[in-house]
Every structure is written in structure tokens, then in C-alpha cells.
Amino acid sequence: MRIAMISMHTSPIEQPGSGDAGGMNVYVINVARQLARQGVDVDIYTRATRPSQGEIVEVEPRLRVINIVAGPYEGLSKEELPTQMVAFTGGLVQFVKCHGLHYDLIHSHYWLSGQVGWLLRDLWGLPLVHTAHTLAAVKNQYRSGDDTQESEARRICEQQLVDNADVLVVNTEQEARDLIRHYDADPSHIQVVSPGADTELFTPGSDRNTERSRRELGIPLHAKVVAFVGRLQKFKGPDVLIRAAAELFRRDPERNLRVIICGGPSGADASSESYHALVRELGMSCHVRFLQPRPPEELVSIYRAADIVAVPSYNESFGLVALEAQASGTPVVAARVGGLPIAVAEGETGELVEGHSAAAWADALARLLDDDDTRIAMGEAAVHHAARFSWAASASLLRDIYQQALAIEVPDCHQRHAAGA
């Protein structure tokens, strides 16, 4: 089986946590690796963002990333990428033709790639599997009051994909319900595949590992540490954690607490300065440390160094950071939104918070920070909980879905014309 995966707006081999690289990048590269190891040939098509990348990147046997030139390498925001969809599709088609490639199926990720996949589906007569990862209607429903609203144009494009994709793969049952509620999706077209975590990389380690991680990060060994890992954008809620930490210090100025925020700016307001300014405004400069995005093999040190990982997003289709943290033996305090109630076992591996008020988040953080026995027990349980999710299992389910999709008869142009007539 040979699969054409499309991830137009962000490369799966880019550093997660900055720009437009995030959980979707982690998802795509990990399921692609596991599919390749299970005998599926996978080519991932993405837009080239620098000439040094090369056209073809051999990731491992059976897995390649193909960089398609479409528009300038730099300077294009995600919001401007629709202007390059024709150029990207043309470059992709040309690459396939020049290399004599034939695919069995297309799997697109995110709505921009979905629009490309929809065209290729009709051009090549192949089944289209689509994974949205996020949905405009859901993001608009849960966004903070001062966050930018997703465009109606995006929502319309997503509706077209729901209407035309042969299979819609989602992370959770909640996401399936969102598709049905907001986009009138046919339930028979939806398949649920839970994401996983790299449980060989993300492990608890020993007390010595934790001490070393803190020394490397310059964190006092006896401080309590709360970490945020992700892109610095309003939808991810880093300001929620900052305000909650300030509330904890307002209640107890002597609290020995450090906050780590690891990630880079993303989105229309792509700057971290507003978060630095908020820290200064709240008098938290001595207690909050900002770190640049880290590759997974370094990120595990941050998870191990933390007593709690906070995930205050306004919505998450699943919450990979929460799963990675738990695999590393760290309990999670997360917002009760999207797939986070599945990623976090409430009361066993962490806590879920209703809403995003500083007071509610301060209460939840304080309960675990001040109860060492419960927090340590949750960290131990978290490792076992995370072990239930693996990328190999996710890929195996996807492979089964692909096999079923191959039986779908995609009408060619003559059939579609006859049907329209």
C-alpha cells in the first residue's frame, strides 16, 4: 500500500511548539513512522519553507517528506496560504508525474491540505481520508473573548470536506459529535483513532534524572514547578497559567513556586512579548521563566523537572502534551474541554478545571502542589494511564481504515458529469 499524506501548511519534521508546528506535526510524523514500520509506503507532501531542505527527505525506510515549492519560502502566514493552494497542488501533481508515482489512497491533514486532497481525489480517482485536527466552528465556540475568530471561508471549506471526503478520521468521540453537530456529518463516514505517545522516549526516569533536569534548567531543587509546553497563542491559554500563578502568590507571597513556559509564538499575533509584559505587570518576573521550543528528546527533561504540567487550552482535539507529560510521570492539570477528559484520568492522573478563571486554576494547582502524597501517587498512575496509548496502535487502526477505504468506488469525471446531468 502506498499513501500520499498531505500536510501543506506545516512540515511534520519541523520543531513543534513554534510557528504553526504543534500537535498535528507530532501526530503526522509519528503515525507515518509507525505505518512505514508496518509495511505501508508513505510520502508526506508539505510546502517548502527554506531552500536548504531539499526536495526529498528520506526519514526512514518507506517514509519520505516531499517539499513542494509554492510561493516564497518565508513571509507567508497560515492565513495567506490559501493563495498558494493552486501552486502547491500543481507542484505536487508535477512531482508525482515526473517520478512515475502511483498511490492507493490520499490522507489529508487540516483543512488547507483537505482542499488539495479533495482535488486530487477527483483527479486521480482515489479515496480521500481526511483528519481536521481542529475545526473553525469549535474554535469559535470555545475561543477567549479577545481571541481572533476563525473565518467563515475556513468553515465553508471544512463543510465541503465533510461533504466530499470518503472517510473522516477524528481523535475522540467528542470530535465526532462536533462534526455531526456543526457540519451535519454522516456518522457512517467517521472513524475514531486515538493519538498516542512515544512511551519509549517519554519515561519517568529516576529521582536523579529529575535533579539533573532541574540543574540543567537552572531550577531550584526544592521549588515546586508548574510547566506549560506549547505554542504561545491565546487559544492555548498560557496567560491563564500566568494569572493563576500570580493569584497563588497573592494568597501566599512566600510560596516557593517556579513556572516554566516552553514554546514559541504562533498565530496572527505571533509575538511572545505580550506574555512577557503580562509577567512583568503581575510582578512575576522572578518566578516565571520562558524557554524556546525543544525537540522531544530535550522536552522530556522539562516534563521530568515539573511537579505539574498545565494544559489550559480553550479547546484541544486530544491533548498530546498532557499524554507526554503523564508518560513522563508528571500529573496534569487541564481544562475540561475537547479530548482532554480522555487524555487525563480525572482524580487519578490529574485534575480537570471548569473554565479559565485565575481563581479556579489557582485552586486546582494549589490542591496538588500542597498535597505531595496525592501528587506523587497521580504521577505514578499517570505512567500506566499513558501506556494505554501508543502510536503503533494508532497506526494499526489507520491501516485497517485505509484497507476499508480502498473498497470505496470513487466516481470518475464521466460518472460525476452524468450524475450532474
Q: Which residues are annotated as a binding site for Mg(2+)?
A: 303-304, 306, 330
Q: Which residues are annotated as a binding site?
A: 9, 15-16, 20-25, 78, 110, 134, 154, 231, 236, 294, 303-304, 306, 316, 324, 330
Q: Digits of tens for pLDDT over the chain (421 positions)? A: 999 999 999 899 887 666 666 788 899 999 999 999 999 999 999 999 888 889 999 999 999 999 999 999 887 888 899 999 999 999 999 999 999 999 999 999 999 999 999 999 999 999 999 999 999 999 898 887 777 889 999 999 999 999 999 999 999 999 999 999 999 999 999 999 999 999 989 999 777 778 888 998 888 899 999 999 998 988 899 999 999 999 999 999 999 999 999 998 875 555 789 999 999 999 999 999 999 988 888 999 999 999 999 999 998 888 899 999 999 999 999 999 989 999 999 999 999 999 999 999 999 999 999 999 999 999 999 999 999 999 999 999 999 999 999 999 887 655 655 555 4
For position 329, what pLDDT does the model report? Answer: 95
Architecture of domain 207-386: 3-Layer(aba) Sandwich (3.40)
Q: What is the 3-state secondary structure of the chain?
A: CEEEEECCCCCCCCCCCCCCCCHHHHHHHHHHHHHHHCCCEEEEEEECCCHHHCCEEEEECCEEEEEECCCCCCCCCHHHHHHHHHHHHHHHHHHHHHCCCCCCEEEEEHHHHHHHHHHHHHHHCCCEEEECCCCHHHHHHHCCCCCCCCCHHHHHHHHHHHHHCCEEEECCHHHHHHHHHHHCCCHHHEEECCCCECCCCCCCCCHHHHHHHHHHHCCCCCCEEEEEECCECHHHCHHHHHHHHHHHHHHCCCCCEEEEEECCECCCCCCCHHHHHHHHHCCCCCCEEEECCCCHHHHHHHHHHCCEEEECCCCCCCCHHHHHHHHCCCCEEEECCCCHHHHCCECCCEEEECCCCHHHHHHHHHHHHCCHHHHHHHHHHHHHHHCCCEHHHHHHHHHHHHHHHCCCCCCCHHHHHHHHC
For position 421, what pLDDT does the model report? Answer: 44
For position 413, what pLDDT does the model report? Answer: 56
Query: Domain spans of the chain?
Result: 2-196+391-420, 207-386
Q: Which residues are annotated as a binding site for 1D-myo-inositol 3-phosphate?
A: 9, 20-25, 78, 110, 134, 154
Q: Which residues are annotated as a binding site for UDP-N-acetyl-alpha-D-glucosamine?
A: 15-16, 23, 231, 236, 294, 316, 324
For position 271, what pLDDT does the model report? Answer: 72
For position 411, what pLDDT does the model report? Answer: 74
For position 412, what pLDDT does the model report? Answer: 64
CATH homologous superfamily of 2-196+391-420: Glycogen Phosphorylase B; (3.40.50.2000)
**What is the per-residue burial (b if ≥16 Cβ within 10 Å, else e) of 355-384?**
ebebebbbbbbbebbeeeeebeebbebbbe
